[in-house]
Amino acid sequence: MSSITLQHLVKKYDDGFPAVNDISIDIEDGEFIILVGPSGCGKSTLLRMIVGLEDITEGDLLIGGERVNEKAPRERNLAMVFQSYALYPHLTVYENIAFPMRLTKGQFTKEQIDEKVRHAATMLELTEHLERKPANLSGGQRQRVAMGRAIVREADAFLFDEPLSNLDAKLRGQMRAEIARLQRELNTTSVYVTHDQTEAMTLGDRVAVLKKGLLQQIASPRELYEQPANLFVAGFIGSPSMNFLPGTVEGNIFSTPLGKIEIPDRAAKAGAGREIVLAGIRPEFFDDASQLGEAQLSKGTTFTAEISHSEWMGNEQYAYVSYETDERVQETLRNLAEEMDADELRTQLVVEVDATSRFRSGDTA
Ligand code: ATP
Protein backbone atom coordinates (compact mmCIF):
# COMPACT_ATOMS: atom_id res chain seq x y z
CA MET A 1 0.00 0.00 0.00
CA SER A 2 1.07 3.52 -0.63
CA SER A 3 0.27 7.16 -0.58
CA ILE A 4 0.02 8.92 -3.95
CA THR A 5 0.92 12.59 -4.23
CA LEU A 6 0.10 14.75 -7.22
CA GLN A 7 2.07 17.99 -7.23
CA HIS A 8 1.03 20.62 -9.76
CA LEU A 9 0.40 18.02 -12.45
CA VAL A 10 -0.09 19.35 -15.97
CA LYS A 11 -0.85 17.39 -19.13
CA LYS A 12 -0.73 19.04 -22.50
CA TYR A 13 -1.52 16.97 -25.56
CA ASP A 14 -0.19 17.96 -28.98
CA ASP A 15 -2.66 20.82 -29.38
CA GLY A 16 -1.07 22.50 -26.33
CA PHE A 17 -4.35 22.80 -24.43
CA PRO A 18 -3.95 21.60 -20.82
CA ALA A 19 -6.24 18.58 -20.41
CA VAL A 20 -5.01 18.51 -16.79
CA ASN A 21 -4.13 21.92 -15.44
CA ASP A 22 -2.02 22.26 -12.29
CA ILE A 23 -3.68 19.60 -10.15
CA SER A 24 -2.36 18.85 -6.66
CA ILE A 25 -3.89 16.14 -4.48
CA ASP A 26 -2.46 14.21 -1.51
CA ILE A 27 -3.95 10.73 -1.47
CA GLU A 28 -3.30 9.01 1.83
CA ASP A 29 -2.30 5.41 2.25
CA GLY A 30 -5.50 3.33 2.12
CA GLU A 31 -7.68 6.20 1.02
CA PHE A 32 -10.42 5.81 -1.61
CA ILE A 33 -10.48 8.84 -3.92
CA ILE A 34 -13.01 9.43 -6.67
CA LEU A 35 -12.28 11.62 -9.70
CA VAL A 36 -15.54 12.93 -11.11
CA GLY A 37 -16.58 15.55 -13.64
CA PRO A 38 -18.29 15.99 -16.98
CA SER A 39 -17.01 14.40 -20.17
CA GLY A 40 -13.67 15.84 -21.23
CA CYS A 41 -12.78 17.30 -17.80
CA GLY A 42 -9.51 15.34 -17.74
CA LYS A 43 -10.29 12.62 -15.20
CA SER A 44 -9.15 9.70 -17.39
CA THR A 45 -6.03 11.61 -18.42
CA LEU A 46 -5.16 12.17 -14.76
CA LEU A 47 -5.64 8.48 -13.95
CA ARG A 48 -3.53 7.48 -16.94
CA MET A 49 -0.77 9.84 -15.80
CA ILE A 50 -0.76 8.16 -12.38
CA VAL A 51 -0.55 4.67 -13.84
CA GLY A 52 2.12 5.74 -16.35
CA LEU A 53 0.17 5.39 -19.60
CA GLU A 54 0.44 9.12 -20.26
CA ASP A 55 3.57 11.29 -19.93
CA ILE A 56 3.52 14.07 -17.36
CA THR A 57 4.09 17.47 -19.02
CA GLU A 58 4.79 19.35 -15.77
CA GLY A 59 4.69 18.65 -12.05
CA ASP A 60 5.66 15.68 -9.91
CA LEU A 61 4.00 12.37 -9.17
CA LEU A 62 5.06 10.61 -5.98
CA ILE A 63 4.10 7.08 -4.98
CA GLY A 64 4.98 6.18 -1.43
CA GLY A 65 6.99 9.41 -1.27
CA GLU A 66 9.16 8.51 -4.24
CA ARG A 67 9.08 10.50 -7.50
CA VAL A 68 7.97 8.20 -10.31
CA ASN A 69 7.47 10.57 -13.27
CA GLU A 70 9.92 8.66 -15.43
CA LYS A 71 9.08 5.16 -14.25
CA ALA A 72 7.43 2.74 -16.68
CA PRO A 73 3.92 1.52 -15.75
CA ARG A 74 5.12 -1.93 -14.67
CA GLU A 75 7.67 -0.40 -12.29
CA ARG A 76 4.97 1.55 -10.45
CA ASN A 77 3.25 -1.52 -8.98
CA LEU A 78 -0.25 -0.21 -9.53
CA ALA A 79 -3.18 -2.34 -10.67
CA MET A 80 -5.62 -0.87 -13.16
CA VAL A 81 -9.21 -2.11 -13.59
CA PHE A 82 -10.82 -1.00 -16.87
CA GLN A 83 -14.43 -0.95 -17.98
CA SER A 84 -13.52 -3.28 -20.82
CA TYR A 85 -12.19 -5.81 -18.25
CA ALA A 86 -9.19 -6.63 -20.48
CA LEU A 87 -9.48 -10.38 -19.83
CA TYR A 88 -7.77 -13.03 -21.98
CA PRO A 89 -10.59 -14.90 -23.75
CA HIS A 90 -8.62 -18.12 -24.26
CA LEU A 91 -7.69 -18.43 -20.57
CA THR A 92 -9.88 -19.75 -17.77
CA VAL A 93 -10.94 -17.56 -14.88
CA TYR A 94 -8.23 -19.25 -12.79
CA GLU A 95 -5.52 -18.48 -15.35
CA ASN A 96 -6.77 -14.94 -15.92
CA ILE A 97 -6.46 -14.22 -12.20
CA ALA A 98 -3.10 -16.00 -11.95
CA PHE A 99 -1.72 -14.16 -14.99
CA PRO A 100 0.03 -11.24 -13.24
CA MET A 101 1.82 -13.68 -10.91
CA ARG A 102 2.94 -15.91 -13.76
CA LEU A 103 4.40 -12.81 -15.44
CA THR A 104 6.80 -12.34 -12.54
CA LYS A 105 8.66 -15.49 -13.70
CA GLY A 106 9.57 -17.58 -10.72
CA GLN A 107 8.78 -15.09 -7.98
CA PHE A 108 5.88 -17.29 -6.83
CA THR A 109 5.74 -21.06 -6.45
CA LYS A 110 2.85 -23.01 -7.96
CA GLU A 111 1.42 -23.46 -4.46
CA GLN A 112 1.63 -19.75 -3.68
CA ILE A 113 -0.13 -18.88 -6.91
CA ASP A 114 -2.83 -21.44 -6.19
CA GLU A 115 -3.37 -20.12 -2.69
CA LYS A 116 -3.64 -16.50 -3.82
CA VAL A 117 -5.95 -17.26 -6.75
CA ARG A 118 -8.27 -19.30 -4.52
CA HIS A 119 -8.23 -16.66 -1.82
CA ALA A 120 -9.15 -13.93 -4.31
CA ALA A 121 -11.82 -16.18 -5.86
CA THR A 122 -13.36 -16.72 -2.42
CA MET A 123 -13.45 -13.01 -1.71
CA LEU A 124 -15.07 -12.38 -5.07
CA GLU A 125 -17.39 -15.42 -4.99
CA LEU A 126 -15.83 -16.81 -8.14
CA THR A 127 -14.72 -20.19 -6.78
CA GLU A 128 -17.28 -22.22 -8.72
CA HIS A 129 -16.41 -20.44 -11.98
CA LEU A 130 -12.63 -20.91 -11.90
CA GLU A 131 -12.54 -23.32 -14.83
CA ARG A 132 -14.80 -21.26 -17.08
CA LYS A 133 -13.71 -18.97 -19.92
CA PRO A 134 -14.66 -15.26 -19.85
CA ALA A 135 -17.16 -15.72 -22.72
CA ASN A 136 -19.26 -17.89 -20.42
CA LEU A 137 -19.47 -15.33 -17.64
CA SER A 138 -21.90 -12.50 -16.99
CA GLY A 139 -20.69 -8.90 -17.12
CA GLY A 140 -20.56 -8.70 -13.34
CA GLN A 141 -18.54 -11.91 -13.08
CA ARG A 142 -16.07 -10.67 -15.69
CA GLN A 143 -15.69 -7.48 -13.72
CA ARG A 144 -14.92 -9.53 -10.62
CA VAL A 145 -12.27 -11.53 -12.50
CA ALA A 146 -10.64 -8.22 -13.47
CA MET A 147 -10.75 -7.25 -9.79
CA GLY A 148 -9.24 -10.62 -8.86
CA ARG A 149 -6.29 -9.93 -11.11
CA ALA A 150 -5.72 -6.62 -9.35
CA ILE A 151 -5.99 -8.28 -5.92
CA VAL A 152 -3.41 -11.05 -6.47
CA ARG A 153 -0.83 -8.56 -7.63
CA GLU A 154 -0.73 -7.03 -4.17
CA ALA A 155 -0.36 -3.69 -5.89
CA ASP A 156 0.37 -0.51 -3.98
CA ALA A 157 -2.84 0.99 -5.29
CA PHE A 158 -5.88 0.16 -7.41
CA LEU A 159 -6.83 2.48 -10.23
CA PHE A 160 -10.34 2.14 -11.62
CA ASP A 161 -11.38 3.67 -14.95
CA GLU A 162 -15.19 3.67 -15.05
CA PRO A 163 -15.20 -0.05 -14.24
CA LEU A 164 -18.97 -0.41 -14.03
CA SER A 165 -20.13 1.56 -17.04
CA ASN A 166 -20.80 -1.54 -19.16
CA LEU A 167 -23.14 -3.09 -16.60
CA ASP A 168 -26.90 -2.72 -16.28
CA ALA A 169 -28.31 -0.61 -13.45
CA LYS A 170 -29.00 -3.48 -11.05
CA LEU A 171 -25.61 -5.09 -11.49
CA ARG A 172 -23.91 -1.74 -11.16
CA GLY A 173 -25.50 -1.37 -7.76
CA GLN A 174 -24.31 -4.81 -6.68
CA MET A 175 -20.79 -4.30 -7.97
CA ARG A 176 -20.61 -0.89 -6.37
CA ALA A 177 -21.34 -2.44 -3.00
CA GLU A 178 -18.81 -5.18 -3.78
CA ILE A 179 -16.04 -2.72 -4.63
CA ALA A 180 -16.76 -0.74 -1.47
CA ARG A 181 -16.56 -3.93 0.63
CA LEU A 182 -13.34 -5.12 -1.03
CA GLN A 183 -11.67 -1.77 -0.66
CA ARG A 184 -12.52 -1.72 3.05
CA GLU A 185 -11.30 -5.29 3.54
CA LEU A 186 -8.06 -4.84 1.60
CA ASN A 187 -7.56 -1.22 2.65
CA THR A 188 -5.66 -0.55 -0.57
CA THR A 189 -5.22 3.03 -1.77
CA SER A 190 -7.69 3.46 -4.64
CA VAL A 191 -8.37 6.07 -7.29
CA TYR A 192 -11.64 5.66 -9.14
CA VAL A 193 -12.79 7.58 -12.21
CA THR A 194 -16.48 7.90 -12.87
CA HIS A 195 -19.10 10.29 -14.17
CA ASP A 196 -21.74 8.50 -12.10
CA GLN A 197 -23.01 10.58 -9.19
CA THR A 198 -24.03 7.63 -7.07
CA GLU A 199 -20.66 5.92 -7.41
CA ALA A 200 -18.89 9.16 -6.56
CA MET A 201 -21.00 9.84 -3.49
CA THR A 202 -21.13 6.30 -2.10
CA LEU A 203 -17.65 4.92 -2.76
CA GLY A 204 -15.21 7.67 -1.95
CA ASP A 205 -13.62 8.81 1.27
CA ARG A 206 -13.07 11.99 -0.70
CA VAL A 207 -14.30 13.10 -4.10
CA ALA A 208 -12.30 15.35 -6.44
CA VAL A 209 -14.52 17.34 -8.81
CA LEU A 210 -12.86 18.42 -12.06
CA LYS A 211 -13.94 20.85 -14.75
CA LYS A 212 -11.93 21.55 -17.90
CA GLY A 213 -8.74 20.17 -16.40
CA LEU A 214 -9.05 22.21 -13.20
CA LEU A 215 -9.70 20.86 -9.72
CA GLN A 216 -12.82 22.56 -8.40
CA GLN A 217 -13.03 20.98 -4.96
CA ILE A 218 -11.85 17.90 -3.12
CA ALA A 219 -13.82 16.95 -0.05
CA SER A 220 -15.88 14.22 1.58
CA PRO A 221 -19.16 13.46 -0.21
CA ARG A 222 -21.10 15.13 2.60
CA GLU A 223 -19.03 18.30 2.49
CA LEU A 224 -19.37 18.53 -1.29
CA TYR A 225 -23.11 18.20 -0.97
CA GLU A 226 -23.56 20.57 1.94
CA GLN A 227 -20.79 23.07 1.31
CA PRO A 228 -19.99 23.17 -2.40
CA ALA A 229 -17.05 25.49 -3.09
CA ASN A 230 -18.60 27.11 -6.16
CA LEU A 231 -21.61 27.14 -8.46
CA PHE A 232 -20.20 24.42 -10.66
CA VAL A 233 -19.82 21.94 -7.80
CA ALA A 234 -23.20 22.98 -6.39
CA GLY A 235 -24.87 22.23 -9.71
CA PHE A 236 -22.87 19.12 -10.53
CA ILE A 237 -23.21 17.22 -7.26
CA GLY A 238 -26.69 15.94 -6.47
CA SER A 239 -29.42 14.38 -8.57
CA PRO A 240 -31.75 16.02 -9.38
CA SER A 241 -29.51 19.06 -9.37
CA MET A 242 -29.65 21.92 -6.92
CA ASN A 243 -32.12 24.64 -7.91
CA PHE A 244 -30.82 28.15 -8.38
CA LEU A 245 -33.56 30.64 -7.67
CA PRO A 246 -32.73 34.24 -8.68
CA GLY A 247 -33.87 37.22 -6.67
CA THR A 248 -32.89 40.41 -4.92
CA VAL A 249 -31.92 40.89 -1.29
CA GLU A 250 -33.12 43.75 0.85
CA GLY A 251 -32.37 43.40 4.54
CA ASN A 252 -33.53 39.93 5.53
CA ILE A 253 -35.99 39.60 2.67
CA PHE A 254 -35.14 37.72 -0.50
CA SER A 255 -37.61 38.63 -3.25
CA THR A 256 -37.96 35.92 -5.89
CA PRO A 257 -40.30 35.40 -8.85
CA LEU A 258 -42.25 33.00 -6.62
CA GLY A 259 -42.59 35.27 -3.61
CA LYS A 260 -40.64 36.70 -0.72
CA ILE A 261 -38.52 34.56 1.61
CA GLU A 262 -37.19 35.59 4.97
CA ILE A 263 -33.49 34.74 5.11
CA PRO A 264 -31.04 34.45 8.02
CA ASP A 265 -28.48 37.19 8.76
CA ARG A 266 -25.59 35.30 7.20
CA ALA A 267 -27.39 34.97 3.86
CA ALA A 268 -28.61 38.59 4.07
CA LYS A 269 -25.05 39.77 4.56
CA ALA A 270 -23.75 37.67 1.67
CA GLY A 271 -26.41 39.04 -0.67
CA ALA A 272 -26.31 42.68 0.45
CA GLY A 273 -25.45 45.17 -2.29
CA ARG A 274 -25.63 42.62 -5.10
CA GLU A 275 -27.88 43.21 -8.04
CA ILE A 276 -29.04 39.63 -8.55
CA VAL A 277 -28.56 36.86 -6.03
CA LEU A 278 -29.00 33.15 -6.60
CA ALA A 279 -30.32 31.00 -3.78
CA GLY A 280 -29.21 27.38 -4.02
CA ILE A 281 -32.11 25.21 -2.88
CA ARG A 282 -31.94 21.42 -3.05
CA PRO A 283 -35.10 19.73 -4.36
CA GLU A 284 -35.62 17.93 -1.04
CA PHE A 285 -35.83 21.22 0.85
CA PHE A 286 -39.36 21.65 -0.51
CA ASP A 287 -42.51 20.07 0.84
CA ASP A 288 -46.11 19.81 -0.23
CA ALA A 289 -47.74 22.48 1.96
CA SER A 290 -51.06 20.63 1.93
CA GLN A 291 -49.44 17.78 3.85
CA LEU A 292 -47.88 19.92 6.58
CA GLY A 293 -49.28 20.99 9.93
CA GLU A 294 -49.41 24.56 11.25
CA ALA A 295 -46.17 24.20 13.21
CA GLN A 296 -44.17 23.07 10.17
CA LEU A 297 -45.77 25.62 7.87
CA SER A 298 -44.79 28.46 10.18
CA LYS A 299 -41.11 27.48 9.87
CA GLY A 300 -41.01 27.91 6.11
CA THR A 301 -42.27 30.04 3.25
CA THR A 302 -45.29 28.91 1.26
CA PHE A 303 -45.46 29.35 -2.52
CA THR A 304 -48.32 28.78 -4.88
CA ALA A 305 -47.23 27.81 -8.36
CA GLU A 306 -48.30 25.77 -11.31
CA ILE A 307 -46.83 22.31 -11.69
CA SER A 308 -45.71 22.09 -15.30
CA HIS A 309 -44.73 18.47 -15.11
CA SER A 310 -44.49 15.79 -12.45
CA GLU A 311 -42.57 12.52 -12.21
CA TRP A 312 -43.76 9.87 -9.81
CA MET A 313 -40.85 7.63 -8.77
CA GLY A 314 -42.58 5.25 -6.37
CA ASN A 315 -40.78 6.40 -3.23
CA GLU A 316 -40.83 10.12 -4.05
CA GLN A 317 -42.11 12.53 -6.60
CA TYR A 318 -40.43 15.30 -8.56
CA ALA A 319 -42.53 18.26 -9.60
CA TYR A 320 -41.30 20.89 -12.05
CA VAL A 321 -42.37 24.43 -11.35
CA SER A 322 -41.72 27.11 -13.97
CA TYR A 323 -41.56 30.81 -13.22
CA GLU A 324 -41.23 34.04 -15.17
CA THR A 325 -38.31 36.46 -14.97
CA ASP A 326 -37.28 39.59 -16.80
CA GLU A 327 -34.59 39.74 -19.49
CA ARG A 328 -31.97 41.10 -17.07
CA VAL A 329 -32.26 38.01 -14.83
CA GLN A 330 -32.27 35.72 -17.83
CA GLU A 331 -29.07 37.28 -19.08
CA THR A 332 -27.46 36.68 -15.67
CA LEU A 333 -28.61 33.07 -15.78
CA ARG A 334 -27.14 32.63 -19.26
CA ASN A 335 -23.77 33.97 -18.10
CA LEU A 336 -23.80 31.73 -15.06
CA ALA A 337 -24.70 28.71 -17.15
CA GLU A 338 -21.59 29.30 -19.20
CA GLU A 339 -19.50 29.56 -16.05
CA MET A 340 -21.00 26.30 -14.85
CA ASP A 341 -20.41 24.52 -18.13
CA ALA A 342 -24.16 23.90 -18.37
CA ASP A 343 -26.34 24.26 -21.47
CA GLU A 344 -28.71 26.60 -19.65
CA LEU A 345 -29.96 27.54 -16.22
CA ARG A 346 -33.69 27.08 -16.51
CA THR A 347 -36.24 29.33 -14.94
CA GLN A 348 -37.65 26.25 -13.33
CA LEU A 349 -37.48 24.56 -9.96
CA VAL A 350 -37.40 20.84 -9.33
CA VAL A 351 -39.29 20.11 -6.17
CA GLU A 352 -39.11 16.78 -4.38
CA VAL A 353 -42.29 15.92 -2.54
CA ASP A 354 -43.66 12.80 -0.94
CA ALA A 355 -44.88 10.13 -3.35
CA THR A 356 -48.31 10.36 -1.73
CA SER A 357 -48.66 14.05 -2.67
CA ARG A 358 -51.31 14.56 -5.30
CA PHE A 359 -49.12 16.76 -7.49
CA ARG A 360 -50.15 16.41 -11.10
CA SER A 361 -49.08 18.22 -14.27
CA GLY A 362 -51.15 21.40 -14.68
CA ASP A 363 -52.15 21.49 -10.99
CA THR A 364 -51.66 24.58 -8.93
CA ALA A 365 -50.14 23.70 -5.59
P1 ATP B 1 -14.75 11.13 -20.52
O2 ATP B 1 -15.63 11.07 -19.32
O3 ATP B 1 -15.51 11.55 -21.76
O4 ATP B 1 -13.90 9.93 -20.72
P5 ATP B 1 -12.56 12.57 -19.30
O6 ATP B 1 -12.95 13.51 -18.23
O7 ATP B 1 -12.00 11.27 -18.89
O8 ATP B 1 -13.76 12.38 -20.31
P9 ATP B 1 -10.15 12.90 -20.83
O10 ATP B 1 -10.35 11.68 -21.65
O11 ATP B 1 -9.12 12.88 -19.79
O12 ATP B 1 -11.53 13.38 -20.20
O13 ATP B 1 -9.86 14.12 -21.82
C14 ATP B 1 -9.55 15.43 -21.35
C15 ATP B 1 -9.31 16.34 -22.57
O16 ATP B 1 -8.13 15.92 -23.24
C17 ATP B 1 -10.41 16.32 -23.59
O18 ATP B 1 -10.58 17.61 -24.08
C19 ATP B 1 -9.89 15.39 -24.67
O20 ATP B 1 -10.41 15.73 -25.91
C21 ATP B 1 -8.39 15.61 -24.59
N22 ATP B 1 -7.64 14.40 -24.96
C23 ATP B 1 -7.74 13.19 -24.37
N24 ATP B 1 -6.88 12.32 -24.95
C25 ATP B 1 -6.24 12.99 -25.92
C26 ATP B 1 -5.22 12.66 -26.88
N27 ATP B 1 -4.68 11.45 -26.92
N28 ATP B 1 -4.80 13.63 -27.71
C29 ATP B 1 -5.32 14.87 -27.67
N30 ATP B 1 -6.25 15.27 -26.80
C31 ATP B 1 -6.72 14.34 -25.94
Closest atom of ligand 1 to CA, residue 213 = 14
Q: Is the pLDDT of residue 303 over 90?
A: no
Q: Do 167 and 314 sit in the same domain of this protein? A: no
Q: What is the pLDDT of residue 336?
A: 86
Calculate how far, in angstroms, residue 212's C-alpha sits from the geometric centre of ligand 1.
10
Q: Is the pLDDT of residue 362 over 90?
A: no
- Measure Cα distances from 306 to 1, 212, 303, 310, 349 in Å: 56, 37, 10, 11, 11
Q: Whose CA is nearest to atom 3 of ligand 1?
A: 39
Give the span between the Cα atoms of 245 and 247, in whole angstroms. 7
Give the span between the Cα atoms of 354 and 214, in whole angstroms. 38
Calculate how far, in angstroms, residue 33's C-alpha sits from the geometric centre of ligand 1.
20
Q: What is the pLDDT of residue 56?
A: 97
61: left (phi over 0), alpha (psi -120 to 50) or beta: beta
* Domain boundary, last residue among 235, 268, 295: 235
Give the span between the Cα atoms of 128 and 126, in whole angstroms. 6
Q: Whose CA is nearest to atom 2 of ligand 1?
A: 39
**Helices 93-103, 110-123: crossing angle, 10 deg rounding:** 130
Is-contact 223 213, C-beta < 8 A?
no
User: Percent of the chain, pLDDT > 70?
Assistant: 99
25-35 confidence digits (pLDDT tens)? 999 999 999 99
Q: Do 230 and 284 sit in the same domain of this protein? A: no
Domain assignment of residue 307, yes or no: yes
Q: What is the pTM of this model?
A: 0.89
Calculate how far, in angstroms, residue 11's C-alpha sits from the geometric centre of ligand 1.
10
User: Is residue 363 very low, low, confident or very high in pLDDT (cuts 50, 70, 90)?
Assistant: confident
Q: Do 286 and 227 sit in the same domain of this protein? A: no
DSSP string, 84-150: T----TTS-HHHHHHHHHHHTSSSS-HHHHHHHHHHHHHHTT-GGGTTS-GGGS-HHHHHHHHHHHH
Q: Whose CA is nearest to atom 16 of ligand 1?
A: 19
Closest atom of ligand 1 to CA, residue 45 = 11
Give the span between the Cα atoms of 277 and 229, in whole angstroms. 16
Range of the domain at 324: 240-247+280-354
Closest atom of ligand 1 to CA, residue 13 = 29
Closest atom of ligand 1 to CA, residue 195 = 2
Domain assignment of residue 87, yes or no: yes
Instruction: Give, as one character, the DSSP assignment of residue 287.
Output: -
Domain assignment of residue 264, yes or no: no
Domain assignment of residue 359, yes or no: no
Q: Do 75 and 151 sit in the same domain of this protein? A: yes
Q: Whose CA is nearest to atom 24 of ligand 1?
A: 45
Q: Do 135 and 71 sit in the same domain of this protein? A: yes
Q: Whose CA is nearest to atom 25 of ligand 1?
A: 13
Q: What is the pLDDT of residue 299?
A: 85
Domain assignment of residue 110, yes or no: yes
Q: Do 95 and 170 sit in the same domain of this protein? A: yes
Domain assignment of residue 319, yes or no: yes
Q: Do 222 and 296 sit in the same domain of this protein? A: no
Calculate how far, in angstroms, residue 40's C-alpha sits from the geometric centre of ligand 1.
5
Mean pLDDT across the stretch 183-192? 92
Q: Do 128 and 219 sit in the same domain of this protein? A: yes
Q: What is the pLDDT of residue 339?
A: 80
User: Is residue 1 very low, low, confident or very high in pLDDT (cuts 50, 70, 90)?
Assistant: low
Q: Which of 157-161, 171-175, 206-210, 355-359 has the highest mean pLDDT?
A: 206-210
Closest atom of ligand 1 to CA, residue 54 = 27
Domain assignment of residue 260, yes or no: no
Give the span between the Cα atoms of 268 and 277, in whole angstroms. 10
Closest atom of ligand 1 to CA, residue 47 = 11
Closest atom of ligand 1 to CA, residue 210 = 6
CA angle 315, 318, 323 (to 5 degrees): 165
Q: Do 183 and 311 sit in the same domain of this protein? A: no
Best substitution site from 45, 48, 196 to test ligand 1's pocket, by max atoms within 8 Å of Cβ? 45
* Domain boundary, last residue among 235, 257, 289: 235
Best substitution site from 10, 11, 13, 209 to test ligand 1's pocket, by max atoms within 8 Å of Cβ? 13
- Measure Cα distances from 183 to 117, 151, 226, 271 in Å: 18, 10, 25, 43
**CATH code for the domain in which residue 44 is found:** 3.40.50.300
Give the span between the Cα atoms of 141 and 144, in whole angstroms. 5
Q: Whose CA is nearest to atom 23 of ligand 1?
A: 45
Domain assignment of residue 258, yes or no: no
Enclosing H/E stretch for 51? helix 43-51
Q: What is the pLDDT of residue 10?
A: 98
Q: Do 288 and 228 sit in the same domain of this protein? A: no
Using a 6 Å CB cutoff, which residues line ligand 1? 13, 19, 37, 39-45, 195
Q: Do 296 and 160 sit in the same domain of this protein? A: no
The total number of structural domains that make up the chain: 2
Calculate how far, in angstroms, residue 47's C-alpha sits from the geometric centre of ligand 1.
11
Helix, strand, coil share (%) of the chain residues, nearest 5: 35, 30, 35
Instruction: Give, as one character, the DSSP assignment of residue 73.
Output: G
Q: Do 43 and 147 sit in the same domain of this protein? A: yes
Residue 37, classed as helix, strand or coil, is coil
